[in-house]
Structure 1
Amino acid sequence: MSADVVSFIRELYRTNDFVPLHAPTFNGNELKYVTETIESTFVSSVGKYVDDFERKIEAYTGSIKAIATVNGTAALHTALYMAGVKSGDYVITQALTFVATCNALHHMGAEPIFVDVAKVSLSLCPVALDNYLTDNAYSNDKGCFHKTNNRRIGAVVPMHTFGHPAELDEIVAVCAKWNISLVEDAAESLGSFYKGKHTGTIGDLGALSFNGNKIITTGGGGMVLCKDADLGKHTKHVTTTAKVPHPYEFFHDEPGFNYRLPNLNAALGCAQMESLPGFLQQKRLIAQQYQAFFANTEFDFVDEPDYAQSNYWLNAVICPDEETRDRLLKTTNEAGVMTRPIWKLMHRLPFLSNSLRGDLTNSEFIEAHLINLPSSPILDGIEV
């Protein structure tokens, strides 16, 4: 079967060359806009493309205010900060995530509590979340606190794994019940919708990423999504060193971050946004091809949940056992077709090994069985 997978992917991408997991695609106005930026000399944090990029994200996602940042980790850090998470707080998230989720917490002096994911979404499970809180927490009008040490649980952070939206209605209800802020790590899910609403716009705040391997890229870059105009204005202020506008004086009225996205990167993002609808169509076509190929085999293709429309950022299959997974990884990578296992669960990393956690049965199963498949959006010679 492993050799068949290699042959199928090479036929899908119509190449005998190396097939990356997810490569950026530049087929629009990227060179034009970046050249204009260089010629204008406004390549740093001042320039028209930063504002244009923020407005394009607002229009696409339906966010009241979008604030561009230098990368996705900075966006998540900012979102957590604006949600009121403080040093010493706990933040509940999933162990099945990329390390950036936990790095943002570490930078703040907060600590993660890991709960399980749901198999339907590969993202935070609302039942596991409520069960953990019932067994380990109490809440009042001041917030939610851990029973063992009375430390505050400052936020819940679901990560929409591979672009598949979490069960957000249920998570929102749990957060309201326990008086906890909800911050969406939507780094992987630009173009994904939960019951018609874009991911990152349903919680109190959300964070997107535009890293080189995402569905669109600015080289590096991120975006904070805010539901409230005043909060959005304050967030923009904080991410731009909290400088009070003045013709020439430098006055900063609160601690701030220098998280501004350079105009050069934003120019790239504006061009990529023009191609996003086409990318999404291509990636849905790729997912359909994988789904058909793996039908009636021992592999289970990871499909979008019934309640959602996924961007299919990274396609994935669940292998029947760990031995089959390892064999497929070895065969494909040796053949120049890039596949990857999912991340190691966060509590297995040295700096997170002592983190509090609930039962992680689903996370451990997925860790041992899942493989990501090449998912770059443009297929040579295949029309949408």
Structure 2
Amino acid sequence: MSIALAVPNLLGNEGQYLQECISTTFVSSVGPFVDRFAAQLSSESGAVDSAVLCSGTVALQMALEGLGIGAGDLVLCPTLSFIATANAIHHSGARPWFIDCAAQDWLIDLDSLEAEIEAKTELLAGGIRIHRATGLRLRAIMPVMIMGASLDFDRLMQIAGRYDLRVVVDAAAAIGARASGGRRLCETGVDAVCYSFNGNKTITCGGGGAVSSANESLIARIRHMTTTGRVGRDYDHDIAGYNFRMTNVQAAIGVAQMERLEQFLARKAALAQAYAGLAARFDQLSPFPTPAGGRSTHWFSGFWLSDPGLSDQEAAELSKGFRQHMVAAGIDLRLFWKPLHLQEAHRGAPAGRLDIAEALWQRIYPLPCSTHLTEEELEQVLAAAECFWRAPVKGK
């Protein structure tokens, strides 16, 4: 039997709430579950309000557009991320500026980010900061909470304040995360926090996304933009808006999922601990990093090939062998995200030195992490992995 990387856990009230949508005929973009889900997200995030939308990518795009960011603007973001991060910036009309990840936690390297700003931008009259090589205005930072890991929000906001930048957090996999001191994400001073509810996320709606914010007017603006710009009950529209709303059916699943968020997070943490325990038995391996501050969600967990003695080619070949071994054992193991600056879709975007991400991405092994993965299945995964790494002469 094949063990998938991540499948949705739908063993709660999902079926009951979906039947309620059907029996009441509220299956489209209006209905009580839409409001309930938005309220749950706001409470979890420490937000004044939340807009629930059709995808996580759209959530990022709408957060940027709601803040007035678009054509002629640059948005700093990490290169080690799923492509939706850069795509959302592109769809807003802005361009991404790729920054390397930090070796110790894989999050955007704030030292590198600040050095890049200092070296490659200048402040013009009127407070406009431009990127010298492109002439584009520097407007925002979009950090990514990779694997659901908590950011250094205090340092991030200091940098944003110094350079007058907006902060839109790509928290696609970070529902339930906390900043240092136990703060909820929207209590950190950021402009917006954006979630994804794709089928492989800790909380799923089958699809969908959301923007949560402490700025009530921003959420009102996003709702207006994503509801075709409709004014009042008649068919009057004051802008060329979008139809990017989440349906009541999707929200019903989300409401049921949120009821079990803490249970899901506990299981994710246990899986991360199990994989870290295996990695600790091999000198070549290390667990996924967990930043010291705050609470991470451990959306994906596993280990990575940390042996510094391997060349990039040796590491790539060894990693390919491990993936083939696990797949043959009936366990889903795929390549991790290809860095954004290497993607054809974003070739030529501004970028700094990106050595860490280039050396790292093929060494990362996300292992099965469904919240209802059984202990028997977990033992199967651990045994298969140990079998490979116990074999003599790995990459030497």
Quick one: which of 245, 260, 263 aligns to 2:245?
260
Instruction: Indicate the larger mover: 373-382 or 347-356.
Output: 373-382
Determine if the alignment matches structure 1 residue 88 to structure 2 residue 72.
Answer: yes
Alignment correspondent of 1:378: 372
1:299 aligns with one of 285, 294, 298: 285
Following superposition, the deviation at residue 200 of structure 1 comes to 5.7
2:128 and 2:77 map into 1 onto residues whose CA distance is 17
Indicate the residue corresponding to 1:172 in structure 2.
157
Is 1:342 aligned with 2:329?
A: no
Q: Which residue of 2 aligns with 1:314?
A: 300
TM-score normalised to the size of structure 2?
0.88
For the pair 1:62 / 2:49, whether they are aligned, the reply is: no
Structure 1, unmatched stretches of 5+, are 1-16
How far, CA to CA, are the matches of 1:145 and 1:201 in structure 2? 29
Q: Equivalent residue of 2:26, what SS?
A: coil
Find 1:120's aligned residue among 100, 104, 109: 104
Q: Give the conservation status (yes or no) of the 8 Å contact 1:70–1:259.
A: yes
Q: Distance in 1 between matches of 2:363 and 2:374?
A: 30
Q: Write the letter of the residue equivalent to 2:321.
A: R
Question: CA offsets, 1:95-121, max 9 Å, x none?
Answer: 111011111122122211111111233
Looking at structure 1, the residues matched to 88 and 187 of structure 2 have their Cα atoms a distance apart, in angstroms, of 19
Query: Larger deviation: 23-32 or 173-182?
Result: 173-182
Which consecutive residues of structure 2, in runs of 5 or more, have no partner in the other structure? 308-314, 377-396
- Check whether the contact 1:136–1:147 (CA below 8 A) recurs between aligned residues: yes
- The CA deviation string for residues 29-83 of structure 1, in whole angstroms up to 9 with x for no partner, is 0000001001111100111000000001111121111110011011111011112
Residues 158, 184 of structure 1: 8 Å contact kept: yes
Q: What residue number does 1:98 align with? A: 82
The answer (yes or no) to whether the contact 2:74–2:137 under 8 Å persists in 1 is yes
Shift of 1:148: 2.5
Paired residues, number:
364
Query: What SS does the corresponding residue of 2:175 show, helix, strand or coil?
Result: coil
SS of 1:308's partner is: coil
Structure 2 letter corresponding to 1:139: L
Distance, in Å, in 1 between the alignment partners of 2:149 and 2:128 is 29
Hey, what does 1:243 align to over in structure 2?
Answer: 230
Q: CA deviation at 1:339?
A: 1.3
SS at match of 2:71: coil
- Give 3-state SS (helix, strand or coil) of 1:207's partner: strand
Alignment of 1:129-168 (within 5 A): 129-139=113-123, 141-168=126-153
Identity of aligned residues (%): 31
Question: Cα offset for 1:381?
Answer: 5.8
Flag the 1:102–1:149 CA change in 2: closer, same or farther, 3 A. Answer: closer
AA partner of residue 136 (structure 1): K
**Contact kept in structure 1, 2:67 and 2:218, CA below 8 Å:** no
Q: Is the 2:102–2:109 contact (alpha carbons within 8 Å) kept by the matching residues of 1?
A: yes
TM-score by length of 1: 0.91
**Post-superposition offset of 1:90:** 1.4
* Amino acid in the other structure paired with 1:364: E
Distance 1:350 1:147, change over 3 A: same
